[in-house]
Amino acid sequence: MTSSHGAVGQAHSKAHSAKETSIPVGTKVVIDEAGLSALFSRLIKIGYQPIGPKVRDGAVVYEEISSPSDLPVGFSDEQEGGKYRLVPGTKGSFFEYLVGPTSWKKFLFPPRHKMWSADRDGKGFTVENPTDDAPAYAFIGVRSCELNAMKIQDKVFGFGREDKCGAGIFSDPGYVARRSKALIIGVNCSRAGKTCFCSSMGGDPHMKEGQGYDLTLTEFAPSNGKHEFMMEVGSERGALILDLLPHREARSADVSMADSQARKARGEMGRKMVPDVKDVLPRNLRHQRWDEVAERCLSCANCTMVCPTCFCSTVNDTTDLKGDHAERWRSWDSCFSIDFSYIHGGAIRRETKSRYRQWMTHKLSNWHEQYGTSGCVGCGRCITWCPVGIDITEEAKAIKNTGE
């Protein structure tokens, strides 16, 4: 972590205390590369830890970054079932790449997290709750599907929901703390990939007002030494930051350029989900397609690890050797692991077929009953990062076409 503990605490208060700004939510402006650099330095100055895309080990991953030069400059990617390749893109572009193997859940819902510890103390023991010292993140480059995924996890972890322990509803304090501190700077997609299908999951490659971003960027590809970004204000917090950046007002030419980019991306969606999948799957729980997919599925859990909405975890207790100190840790788990469905006497989902079916029916069907939304935003990660290229849209189509 580059930001110190003290600065983290200030991020919030600083951004909020300067309450005066004349920029209303919904304002569209244009900034250039210097404006983007200024954005990074402002964020760092007021105590945010910028997290964003960068190239590592042949992919675009989300990590700590500190300036536009850390971005995947000039990179694009090609994606297919089980295949991802970084390729050269428009020279000098910052955001031509599409979603990669990491998602923002890694920061809001960390892969490993200590819940509490306990120490032996005479005849009893003392329990200690660690406070969460994660910094205030500024997520730079959040895509439309990813913001939708974040809003789905918000429901799961209870962000923006009143705690009602009596009714069995409660929030995850760590998630809520990290999420409420986080600033979201979205980026609209200038293209769609071969595994993208956000359009058929109720999403769109370009973000809409009220979707939940603080600021959002539309990159106009660099040409003739000009490299500009249209920036839209989504919240007062975003407006306060924009106020400090060099910018000009957006003209109608800028707005129509952004609109035509959105139309182009919509037209490029590589995949499509069958529209009534929510009702098709429960009617076909005994379809032989489940056996066929199980022949291919490795039970490796990659699809659930890369999915920005999957939230399953396991809890483990550890002790020190003497048994005087104990800790409880939560870590990512998956419905593809056998231990995950272990209850008294054994696991309920012993076959790959039943584990794959659990994953897909939960995601696309049962999720609606549980959270009032689909569990899939159409980002395509599970297709690209499945080592054998199993395709959730293809499976859904096959079941619909040959089932009941």
- Report whether 149 contacts 305 (CB < 8 A): no
Nearer to ligand SF4, 281 or 301 (CB): 301
Site for another protein in 164-193 (CB under 8 A): 174
Distance in Å, CB of 101 to another protein, minimum: 6
The yes or no reply on residue 274 touching ligand SF4 (CB under 6 A) is no
The yes or no reply on residue 291 touching ligand SF4 (CB under 6 A) is no
Angstrom CA distances, 191 to 123, 150, 306, 329, 382, stand at 64, 21, 21, 40, 19
Candidate list 291, 320, 348, 370; residue touching another protein; CB under 8 A: 320
Residue 129, contacted partner among ligand SF4, another protein, none, CB below 5-8 A by kind: another protein
Site for another protein in 64-103 (CB under 8 A): 82-86, 101-102
Nearer to another protein, 1 or 34 (CB): 1
Distance in Å, CB of 117 to another protein, minimum: 9
The yes or no reply on residue 390 touching ligand SF4 (CB under 6 A) is yes
Dist CA 301 CA 123 (whole Å): 43
Dist CA 198 CA 300 (whole Å): 25
The yes or no reply on residue 290 touching ligand SF4 (CB under 6 A) is no
Residue 274, contacted partner among another protein, ligand SF4, none, CB below 5-8 A by kind: none
Residue 84, contacted partner among another protein, ligand SF4, none, CB below 5-8 A by kind: another protein
Report the 10 Å Cβ neighbour count for 272: 15
Say if strands 59-64 and 183-187 run parallel, antiparallel, or are unpaired: unpaired
The yes or no reply on residue 231 touching ligand SF4 (CB under 6 A) is no
Dist CA 229 CA 250 (whole Å): 10
The yes or no reply on residue 336 touching ligand SF4 (CB under 6 A) is yes
Angstrom CA distances, 286 to 291, 354, 391, 395, stand at 9, 10, 19, 14
The residues, any chain, with a CB within 8 Å of residue 213's CB and separated by 6 or more, are: 142, 147, 184, 185, 186, 207, 232, 234, 235, 238
Closest CA to 240 of 85, 22, 7: 22
Rule CB under 8 A: which residues touch another protein?
A: 5, 56-59, 61, 63, 82-86, 101-102, 106-107, 110-114, 118, 120-121, 123-134, 174, 295-302, 305-306, 316-323, 331-332, 334, 336-339, 352, 355, 384-385, 387-388
Rule CB under 6 A: which residues touch ligand SF4?
A: 149, 297-303, 306-309, 336, 363, 376-382, 386-388, 390, 392
